[in-house]
């Protein structure tokens, strides 16, 4: 589809469920942004191990909050695609329902991308791109774990990946 049509689709979705698609994720991300800024404060003067601890803390927070926001948004888009208009409470409950499954897929994805990056950087980049749609596969198709990653890779077949 042309970019203008996709842009119209996104605006239509946001207008149908602005709280679930925009306000809830922003409200969840704001404390995370403030917390990560506080964690990295003065990182230039920290030792290498303290900087790595801060990096790990940020990734854990991203894994928890980022996947929850993605789960809420993907659940809301799925419900809208099925012709239902979820309330903010429904969106949160749906996000909680899919949250654990998305975390599992993210961990598997990160592990594979890191292993790919160890073998030069290009394989890690290729795997990262192949697994971009894994969260969507979890919510829209109900697949979990390795099968969601394989299915995400199938969507990129024929696209040069």
DSSP string of 15-52, one letter each residue: HHSHIIIIIHHHHHHHHHHHHHHHHTTTGGGS-HHHHH
For the chain, how big is the Rg over CA atoms in Å? 18
The tokens of 23 are what?
């306000």
Global confidence as pTM: 0.75
Q: Which long-range contacts (CB under 8 A, 24 or more apart) does 125-130 make?
A: 126/161, 129/156, 129/161, 130/156, 130/161
Report the candidate in 108, 33, 19, 112 with the shortest Cα–Cα distance to residue 66: 33
pLDDT tens for residues 124-140?
A: 888 988 998 899 899 99
pLDDT tens for residues 99-120?
A: 999 999 999 999 999 998 888 8
pLDDT tens for residues 63-76?
A: 888 888 889 888 98
- Quick check: 1 pLDDT over 50? no
């Amino acid at each position: 589809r042309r970019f203008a049509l996709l842009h119209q689709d996104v605006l239509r979705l946001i207008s149908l469920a602005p709280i679930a698609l925009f306000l809830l994720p922003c409200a969840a991300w704001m404390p995370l942004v403030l917390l990560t800024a506080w964690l990295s404060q003065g990182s230039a003067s920290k030792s290498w191990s303290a900087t790595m601890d801060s990096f790990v803390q940020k990734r854990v927070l991203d894994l928890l909050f980022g996947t929850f926001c993605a789960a809420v948004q993907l659940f809301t888009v799925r419900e809208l695609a099925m012709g239902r208009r979820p309330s903010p409470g429904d969106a949160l409950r749906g996000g909680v329902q899919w949250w654990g499954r998305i975390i599992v897929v993210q961990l598997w994805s990160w592990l594979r991308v890191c292993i790919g990056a160890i073998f030069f950087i290009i394989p890690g980049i290729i795997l990262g791109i192949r697994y971009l749609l894994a969260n969507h596969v979890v919510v829209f198709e109900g697949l979990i774990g390795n099968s969601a990653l394989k299915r995400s890779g199938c969507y990129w077949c024929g696209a040069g990946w």
